[in-house]
Amino acid sequence: MRLPSTAAIVALLASSLAGCGTVNERLSAGMGDYVPQWAGGLPADAPPRAGTPQYDAYMKERERKRLLPAADREKEEQAQKGATGTISGSAVR
């Protein structure tokens, strides 16, 4: 008589752990966006998530740059680097 109640308890524990796994899977997909970069989150230059309006704009801009001739693309990249004031890799220690 003790065996059926033990089996029921084991089944209950197993199903509760399985439920936690699916909840955590759904939460972790969105929580990664809120973790700071210094704590292992997404880098600042990471592209936006698929399915968002920002992603669609990002992909359109990427396609536009891909279709530019190489000379125009290089000029545009240099202009963007000058406007943002980035530091070259050799200047960083």
Does this model's pTM top 0.75?
Answer: no
9 shares a domain with 23: yes
User: For the residues of the chain, what is the DSSP string, one character each?
Assistant: -HHHHHHHHHHHHHHHHHHHHHHHHHHHHHHGGGS-GGGT---TTPPPPTTSHHHHHHHHHHHHHHHS-HHHHHHHHHHHHHHHTPPPTTT--
Amino acid at 60: K
Q: Is 77 found in the same domain as 52?
A: yes
Owning domain of residue 25? 1-43
Task: Tell me the two tokens of residue 83.
Answer: 């406007």
Same-domain status, 81 and 51: yes
Of residues 38 and 87, more confidence is placed in 38
Mean pLDDT over 81-91 rounds to 61
Q: Are residues 1 and 39 in the same domain?
A: yes
Do the beta carbons of residue 61 and residue 77 sit within 8 Å?
no
The predicted-structure confidence for 59-78, as pLDDT tens digits, reads as follows 999 999 888 888 888 888 88
The domain tally of the chain equals: 2
